[in-house]
Structure 1
Amino acid sequence: MSEAIEPSGVEPTIESSESDTDGNEEYGFGDLSVVMGTYNEEAAIGTVLADIERITDGKAEVVCVDGSSDRTPEIAREHGARVIEQEPQGYGVAVREAILAPDRPIVVTTDCDDTYPMEQLPKFLEAINAGYDVVSGDRLYHGAETMPGFNRLGNRLFALGASVLMGERVHDTTTGMRAYRREVVESIEWTENTGLSAELLIRPLMRGYDVREHPIDYAERLGETKLDPIEGGAAIAKSIVKVCLEERFR
């Protein structure tokens, strides 16, 4: 099921996993891999990686699947990230490789353009420790005023369409910031490219995993966008319909 969550003031542990008094495993930043596909983001990648290091006290692993022709991979390595080089094949191909590469128990996806708040990593981990399988950052909860109006409308329509097809309300299907338990990403065969962000929410939700949408702020991106809003929007809409129908009749 999907459930919205308001930010709380409780911080999770930042050490490696251990059992709490009830015998449940508590994950810390040492159990966390932050992954992303990177493509010519030298203007922002250093800021994103510095934020991750600061917020997690350097304990989180960072994995970048990169097809850049600029200094993005060099900057990533300078910040201690593991860089997997890949010929440019699209968003989904890179992110699919990124989520399956690390072996830590919790995987967080993000983008490398400094639009997502790394300050929310403790809250995402807190929700995982509360028992959720997927924690999905809801950019639209606070309005996403820095997002271009056309994109904002499109994202609301994607969420509405997916909600109708799934029979369950979701608010942001295409966010790039989510946390997953490793067993979730390893138990599902991911098929989409441009529409992978929607697939990464829809398939777990329709298979009965516990999903929580968590409100996040969304900042103006650094650098130029690589996605054409018309062509990309059409591909995402097609993926949403395809994935929902596949899961409905699976």
Structure 2
Amino acid sequence: MQQIADTDSQDDGAYTFEDVSVVMGTYNEEAAVGGVLEAIDDATDGAAEVVCVDSSTDRTPAIARDHGARVIEQEPQGYGVAVSAALAAAERPVVVTTDCDGTYPMERLPDFLDEINAGYDVVSGDRLYHGADTMPPFNRFGNHAFALLASALLGERVHDTTTGMRAYRREVIDAIEWTENTGLSAELLIRPLARGYDVRETPIEYGERRGETTLDPLAGGAAIARSIVDVCLEERRR
């Protein structure tokens, strides 16, 4: 991953939160979504656009709308389908992905925007750098294994392939055809790396999840591993 010298994020032409869309897929996250949206609002002074693509059967979409998010409802089709729809719906030149379970530090959004203004195309939050002690041990082991697998196939060190918190320049999102569902989080890092975009992995703290997870760790882990292999091999053949 190419390193770029920092530049002054206040230079003329730098992006502000008026240029940022924060997007997420939501599914039965009524315990967490309100707090996450409040944290986004606090971090961005209410300037960022927020898009939720929702498949919930609980009050998640109503809570999101009450907090000013644009909610797009769809039938449950999986993580990648929801996030892909959210990416497509974002209207601003910087797009930030996150999850709505309260695990990601929304107070770091200004730092992610600074890195985009410093010249990076993708800024990816590395949950594993600080240990991710709040992550279930099996999941933590799996995420280290995914990173090693992707690193071996890419020929480049990757630290956290499946983090949900990243910032992208809009042109990166628009230039790539995204194909994965459960493995979309890995694809969203691997394809930009393979195509030579300037990517920075930056350490973030990983918080305690609010609410229950709906992902089966074994089936989900196998699907992610398959996606990493498939996407890396596809990129090699390009």
Q: Alignment partner for residue 91 of structure 1, among 79, 84, 103? A: 79
How far 1:3 moved relative to its partner? Answer: 5.1
Give 1:193's aligned residue: 181
Selected match of 2:194 from 167, 192, 206: 206
Q: In the TM superposition, what are the counterparts of 1:1-250 in structure 2 within 5 Å?
A: 1-2=1-2, 12=9, 20=12, 25-250=13-238
The TM-score with structure 2 as length reference comes to 0.97
Paired AA for residue 163 in structure 1: S
Q: Which runs of 5+ in 1 are unaligned?
A: 14-18
Q: Please report how far the alpha carbon of residue 103 of structure 1 lies from its aligned counterpart in structure 2 after TM superposition.
A: 1.6
Q: Deviations over 1:21-59 (max 9, x none)?
A: xxxx30001100000000000000000000000111000
8 Å CA contact retained: 1:3, 1:213: no
Q: State the Cα RMSD in Å.
A: 1.7
Q: Secondary structure at the match of 1:99?
A: helix
Q: Normalization by structure 1: what TM-score?
A: 0.92
Structure 2: where are the runs of 5+ without partners?
none
User: What is the letter of the counterpart of residue 167 of structure 1?
Assistant: G
Q: How many residues align?
A: 238
Structure 1 Cα separation of the partners of residues 103 and 173 of structure 2: 23
Letter in 1 for 2:164: G
Secondary structure of the equivalent of 1:230? helix
1:48-105, Cα deviation, whole Å (9 max, x unpaired) = 0000001110000000000001000000000000000110000000000101111200
SS in 2 for 1:26: coil
Which 4+ runs in 1 deviate beyond 2 A? 1-5, 10-13
8 Å CA contact 1:4–1:213 kept in 2: the answer is no
| SS of 2:71 mapped into structure 1 | strand
CA distance in 1, matches of 2:36, 2:106: 8
Shift in alpha-carbon separation, 1:12–1:167, aligned structure 2, 3 A? same
Provide the rounded CA distance (Å) in 1 between the counterparts of 2:237 and 2:17.
Answer: 38
